[in-house]
Amino acid sequence: MISKVTIQELMGMEQRVPLADVRTPAEFAQGHIPGAFNLPLFSNEERVQVGTTYKQESREAAILLGFDLTGPKWSGFIRTALEMAPGRKIAVHCWRGGMRSGAMAWALDLYGFQVYLLEKGYKRYRRWVLDQFERDWPLSVVGGMTGSGKTRILREFKVRGEQVIDLEMLAQHQGSTYGTLGRLVQPSQEQFENDLAAALYGLDRRRRIWVEDESLTIGKRTIPRNFWNEIRAAVLFDVQAPLEVRVQALVEEYGSLDKDFLVECTERIWKRLGPEQTKRAVTAIREGRMEDFIREVLVYYDKTYRTGLQGRDAEHIIKVPVAGGSAAINATLVLKAGDKQTSWI
C-alpha cells in the first residue's frame, strides 16, 4: 500500500520509518534529510542521460530509457530496502515527488512494503528547513574569549537537561582558523542547514535554548542570517576566565596537533596577526613551545572578540567571572546568572 505523507506527518510519526532517498549519490551528498539513506534509482551519469533524452526527445523516450537503465537493478533495490527496513515499512522521496520516487514506491509496494511517499519530495523539505530559520527562538548565548570553555559548558548543560544547539558540532568546525583540528570535514552548506533545522525541530520554544556565540561563518559554513541575527540580539553570558586558564585549556586542545597543520593555519592569518607576530608564533610551533604560540595568537583572537562585543547591546551582556577551567562549576555559574536574568523579565 502506498500512502502520501507531508514532511510534518513523516517527522511526527510515533515510530520512525526508514527513509529512502532515491536521488543520485551526488544529489544525496549535496544535501539530504538527516537519517535518510541513499537508494539511488540512477547513477549520476544515468540521470544526465535521462534528463537529456527528456529535453531532446520526449517524456516517453526518457521513461523507456529509465526502464532500460534500471531493469537489472530492481532486485537489488528491494534487497537493500529489506536490509534497511526489515519491518517492511519505508518512506521514499526524490527531488519533488515525481517519477523516480513514484517508480520506487510502486516496486516496493508490489513486493509487499507499506510505502509512505513524501509529497513534493526533497524540494518541499528544503522549504520546511528554511522556514525554521524564520521562526523566533528563545536563545541564550554563551560567549567568552577563546579558551574560556564555552563548548564544554554547553556540553555540561546538555547533561543537565538544558536545551542546547551545538553549532560547531553541526558545522564540524571549531570556529577559528585552526577549527578543523586537522581532521574534521565540514558538511555542505545545504546539509549544515538541514542538520540545524533537525536539531531545532522538537525543541520546546517555551524554554530557553543555549547556543555558543559565533561569527556569521563557522569555517566555510554560514549560519542562516535570520537565526544569526537572533543570536546577536539575545542575552550574552560572557564567561570571563583568567588568561592562564585559557592558555592551558588551548594547549591541551591544540598542543598535540600536527605542527605543519598549525603552521599552515597560522600563516593563513598573517595579515591579521602581523608579520612579526606570525613569525614568532610559527617559530614557537616549530620549537614545541605551545604556550608561547597560544599567547601570540590570543592577542588577535581576544581583540576580535572585544570588537564583536562592541556590536552588541551592552544591557544584553551579563559578565560571568570564573576562576578555573571546571566545566561543571562554570556551567553552574552561568545557569545561576541565567536564572537571575530570567527573574528580571
Q: Where are the domains of the chain?
A: 2-130, 136-344
Percent of the chain with pLDDT over 70: 99
Query: How high is the pLDDT of residue 298?
Result: 95
Q: Check residues 242 and 14 and name the one with the higher pLDDT.
A: 242
User: Regarding the domain delimited by 2-130, which CATH topology (the fold level of the hierarchy) does it fall under?
Assistant: Oxidized Rhodanese; domain 1 (3.40.250)
- The residue annotated as part of the active site, out of 19, 41, 92, 94, is 94
In the sheet that holds 2-5, the strands lie side by side as 2-5, 114-118, 89-93, 19-21, 37-38
Give the model's pLDDT for residue 339: 86
Interval 145-172: pLDDT, tens: 999 999 999 999 999 999 999 999 999 9
Cell 554563551 sits on residue: 142
DSSP per position, 94-158: -SSSSHHHHHHHHHHHHHT-EEEEETTHHHHHHHHHHHHTTS---EEEEEESTTS-HHHHHHHHH
> Which residue has 529509465 as its cell numbers?
66
pLDDT of residue 1: 92
Q: What is the pLDDT of residue 159?
A: 96
224: region left, alpha or beta (phi > 0 left; psi from -120 to 50 alpha)? beta
Do strands 114-118 and 37-38 pair parallel, antiparallel, or not at all (unpaired)? unpaired
pLDDT at 291: 96
3-class DSSP state of 10: helix
* Total residue length of the chain: 345
Counting runs of H as helices and runs of E as strands, what totals does the chain give?
17, 12
Q: Is 265 a catalytic residue?
A: no
CB-CB contact of 138 with 208 (8 Å): yes
Chain centre to alpha carbon of residue 156? 19
CA distance 319 to 145: 12
Q: Name the residue type at position 285.
A: I
pLDDT single digits (tens) 253-312: 998 899 999 999 999 999 988 999 999 999 999 999 999 999 999 999 999 999 989 989
- Predicted confidence (pLDDT) per residue in 243-270, tens digit: 999 999 999 999 889 999 999 999 999 9
DSSP H or E segment with residue 3? strand 2-5
Q: Which residue has the cell 527573574?
A: 343
Q: How much is the pLDDT for 345?
A: 44
* Average confidence (pLDDT) over 226-247: 96
pLDDT on residue 245: 96
Rounded Cα gap, residues 69 and 78, in angstroms: 16
Distance CA 233, CA 324 (A): 28
Say yes or no to pLDDT of 53 above 80. Answer: yes
In this predicted structure, what is the pLDDT of residue 343? 44
Whole-prediction pTM value? 0.93
- Residue 340: pLDDT over 90: no
Decide if pLDDT at 183 tops 90.
no
Which CATH number does the domain 136-344 belong to among 1.20.59.10, 3.30.420.40, 3.90.780.10, 3.40.50.300? 3.40.50.300
Would you state the cell numbers that stand for residue 30, as one nine-digit string?
Answer: 549535496
pLDDT tens digit sequence for 84-98:
999 999 999 999 988
Q: Tell me the pLDDT band of 41, cut-offs 50, 70 and 90.
A: very high
Chain segment 103-136, per-residue pLDDT in tens: 999 999 999 999 999 999 999 999 999 999 999 9
- Long-range CB contacts (< 8 A, 24+ apart) of 175-183? 175/214, 175/215, 175/218, 175/219, 176/146, 176/301, 177/265, 177/266, 177/268, 177/269, 178/254, 178/257, 178/261, 178/262, 178/265, 179/218, 179/219, 180/219, 181/254, 181/257, 182/257, 182/258, 182/261
pLDDT band at 342 (very low <50, low <70, confident <90, very high): low
